[in-house]
Structure 1
Amino acid sequence: MSNQEATKNNKKSNFSVFDFLYKYGTILTIILLIIFFTFTSSTFLTQSNIINILRSISIVTIIAIGITISLSVGGFDLSAGSVASISVAVVISMFVWYQQNTVVAILAALAIALVCGAINAFMIVKIKVQDMLMTLATMFVFQGIALTYTKGAVISQNMIMANGETAPGQISESFGQIGKVPWIIIIMLVVVLVVHVFLTYTKHGRYMYIIGGNMEAARLSGINVNKYRILAYLLSAAFAAIGGIVLGSRVMTAEVNAGAPYLMDAVAAAYIGFSVGGSGKANAIGTLVGAVLIGILQNGLVMLSVPYYAMDIVKGTVLAFALALTYYKKR
């Protein structure tokens, strides 16, 4: 009998250790990485480098927040990077090709993104295509639309148009300020705070979590499941657009498929956020912490002169570990 009690106590002890790592492992990892990179590089923990890390994760975090909202209803949006690409192309082209002002350019990018979100929502909610498969398909469709719209070229000031003339428009100075410090960091923090309040403290956010937990139970309890799922994909597209707009302001050009490289980091940040604080669900604060972890890793590895082509190995490993923690906890 005493041996059985000892075994039970050992199991409880092991579970408590795992539970602690599940809840605080991400924070602990960030602290350990900061200590390690501080000792290996004298410039890591300087004010300028901290600002650089925050600036580098801003666009990833904003796009990841949209993915977080789709995850909250039990969905998933793989098309976010492509929507960001379209948004960059549209917002920059409004200035360079059509000589529009900042408000019109931003509204045009948001409108196109919402159309993309509506297409996802219709196919997933009404036609009932599985979300990951549908957004995988639209990821390629939207990527193709972005390439077709730009004709596979970079959109920039004073570019040579197809007719041989120079593009007539200029990007406004006010738009250029959006992608600079401190505004790019402020926008990121405001987005995180607003979505955190929305998901945590409003009935609509709580309904989304209920839907994500058990869709059929939510439907039986009287929640309009379809309405909130549609809203989630519209918001996901909107935040992808905001990320794209900020990216366009930061680089002042529309590169080919500019938003695509941000998808993997955004997905990793959103999934890492599941375990932050032991929440076990998609949440805005956790997503920010996940983005900080990725940003610190990238920044520190660059300082250690790790080749850029090895970065995806590290990011993929971190994502795999986060998924392992999340799904093991759900067992």
Structure 2
Amino acid sequence: MRFSTRFSTRFSPALLGTTRFALVSCGLIALLAGCGGDDVTAVPQRVAVSASPNGIAVRAADGAVFITDDQTNGVLSSPDGHTFSHYAGVPVVAGQANSLSQLSFADAGTLMIERFGFGTASAVFGITGVDTIAPLSGPNPARRRLGLISIGSNRLLSTWFIKSGSTPPQGGLSLITYDPTAHTAVERDLLTGLGKPVGVAVSGDTVYVSDQVNNTIVKSSLSALLGGSQAVAPSATLAQINSPDLMAVDASGTLYTKCNTSGLCRIAPDGTVSLLANDFQDARGVAVDAPRHLLYAIDRAGSTGGTSYVRIFPLN
């Protein structure tokens, strides 16, 4: 299944019928591989978690998986993505709902995490071990933070937006440069003019940002942004896609993110969109485990209750 970037991923009855046919004729594993005979060695897995997860990250060295949990306002860890236990707690904001955003491994194995903050108390924390956590002073707490990725040398890319009352959200992408010893940071805007930027991913010199309000994934040259003297608007749109969320990218430059109400999609480097799965309750964070050729995706239970899952897909 491939879709032109001129169209968003609203699937017609005829297209869904084609999907059902592909499931029967190719089998689920072959469908995930595009029915092209690629080597896929395992079936997708669905692991139930007693949590309200959002962000997810994989430690490349050993394959350990880390997820955020809004039930406990903390981070859970698993050596293999199947059995999760407490790893670290994040400070609670009195009178405010728990809402933790993306996770990202940074220099020296530090796990970085964002607190959404609801316009008053966003924050970025570094976790260096079990219940060893410290906030970074400096980033603007009025920015509602969602996406986070390390680009090395004690630098992070953070997506954020500001919203006041019923006015439309306005957001951007910033560079956070921090001192891991003093826990201080300086924030500089790179991209502006976005609606609600959520996910961020980097492949080579290209940085991608998903804008949930505008149903787009935009791209820019990272080196140009870092070398610029002021923030600029995105230089190009990679794809139109409904309701994108947090993102991950694999070694081929393929992006993975939520699409539509119940989908998880992949976006090729040329902007071609294809459906990986269409049975999610609410797709949230995604993470690529490159050494083990796996894609992890959060399937969060809806507001009416149910069970959340970590879903594991084999990558070619």
By relative contact order (CA 8 Å, sep 6+), the higher-ranking structure is 1
Greater C-alpha Rg: 1
TM-score (norm. length: structure 2): 0.23
TM-score (norm. length: structure 1): 0.22
Q: Which has the higher strand share?
A: 2
Q: Which has the higher helix share?
A: 1
